[in-house]
Amino acid sequence: MIKKNWMYWMFFLALFLAPFYLTEFRLSLLGKFLCFAMIAIGISLIWGYTGILSLGHGVYFGLGAYCMAMYLKLEASGGRLPDFMEWSGVNNLPWFWKLFEHPIISISSAIIVPVLLAMFLSYFTFRNRIKGVYFSLLSQAIVVVFVTLFIGKQEWTGGTNGLTNFSTVFGFSLSSPLTQIVLYLLTVVLLLSMFLFSRWLTRSRFGRVLVAIRDSENRVRFLGFNPTTYKVFVYSLSAAFAGIAGAMFVLQVGLISPAMMGIIPSIEMVLWVAVGGRSSLIGAIIGAIVTNGAKSFFSENYPDIWLLFLGGLFIAVVLFLPNGLAGVYQSVKQRKKQGEVRANEASSHVLQRVSRF
């Protein structure tokens, strides 16, 4: 265990020191991937630990991002109407946009809005015992609703183009390298705290109930727990992670559009977790970084192959690596350990772990 912890710390130390050894371009790319890693932690919590497959996390990510972007847009317009509103013939700032003039409201709503939506949706769906694939498909319908809405209400959301052309945040220029480094470090701190919190959560009694819900929800119910409460909490928590990720994403990338919260990005989010290992938090982080790294490499160099590669990756991971990269690491380690144990002629049955799913 101590050895394992040591590896985690090395990983996060490497992330902290990244501004020293990466170019500005690579650093901003890594910052973007770390935002995705935050979403991945949330999805790992609900999918790997609780067995809820959500294909709608793009919405929570998008809502968080839009909340932040509205503030940035107002700051960039400097008291005048945002440019896209003038183009669509709006004369006065809508009332809900006015709220986002205050940074505190804007930052807190980047968390609260996704969480409220997630709570509302999950409370009713889980209370009515809609689960498994039905929930997945419903969450996909939510994505369609929001993307259509955001594209359709062009005068409020900027339509297909989304929100972009920001200049400053709290008076600091977004294009200056120093601001970007500070934002990057903030992202790492947030990611680390989410990781530590999730790890604590999954190792607590609460986490054991989550795993029990995944393996047999009815049995949990018969034992006197109410699975709905647990599922609503963990689902809303993952929505909060996605909302924070959205806010940090907008700050670093400077753009949010409905295309980034659609059906395809939402499913890609699940793929990151599947690649990294669905029931491993560190695996989810690494999966998000590796998959997105591969994506930017392939789509820069071989855009035609990227979709084929992505499709093949989906199939290969599901068929051959159900526990992802973390599963590969585990089994390699286990084989080594088993070898040692056999050499000592001790019983090996204790170490034989059955991989579920």
Residues that bind another protein (CB under 8 A): 53, 124-125, 128-130, 132-134, 136-138, 140-142, 144-145, 148-149, 151-152, 218, 263-264, 267, 270-271, 274, 304, 307-308, 310-315, 317-319, 322, 357
Q: How far is the CB of 171 from another protein (least distance, A)?
A: 37
CB 182 within 8 A of CB 189: no
CB atoms within 10 A of CB 55: 21
Q: How far is the CB of 161 from another protein (least distance, A)?
A: 16
Q: How far is the CB of 315 from another protein (least distance, A)?
A: 4
Q: How far is the CB of 323 from another protein (least distance, A)?
A: 12
Question: Tokens 């659609």, residue?
Answer: 262
164 vs 266, beta carbon nearer another protein: 266
CB 115 within 8 A of CB 236: yes
> What gap in Å lies between CA 31 and CA 37, rounded to an integer?
10
124 vs 200, beta carbon nearer another protein: 124
22 vs 113, beta carbon nearer another protein: 113
Phi-psi region of 208 (alpha: psi -120 to 50; beta: other; left: phi over 0): alpha
30 vs 53, beta carbon nearer another protein: 53
CB 336 within 8 A of CB 292: no
178 vs 319, beta carbon nearer another protein: 319
CB 238 within 8 A of CB 117: no
Question: Tokens 């006065």, residue?
Answer: 92
233 vs 306, beta carbon nearer another protein: 306
219 vs 336, beta carbon nearer another protein: 219
> Judging by DSSP bridges, how do beta strands 168-169 and 172-173 pair with one another?
antiparallel
Contacts of 88 (CB under 8 A, 6+ apart): 154, 155, 159
> What gap in Å lies between CA 193 and CA 299, rounded to an integer?
32
Q: How far is the CB of 53 from another protein (least distance, A)?
A: 5
Q: How far is C-alpha 194 from the geometric centre of its chain's CA atoms? A: 11
Q: How far is the CB of 287 from another protein (least distance, A)?
A: 13
> What gap in Å lies between CA 279 and CA 103, rounded to an integer?
36
94 vs 311, beta carbon nearer another protein: 311
Q: How far is the CB of 138 from another protein (least distance, A)?
A: 6
> What gap in Å lies between CA 222 and CA 197, rounded to an integer?
29
Q: How far is the CB of 353 from another protein (least distance, A)?
A: 19
DSSP for 256-288 reads E-GGGSSHHHHHHHHHHHHHH-TT-HHHHHHHH
DSSP for 236-254 reads HHHHHHHHHHHHHHHHHH-
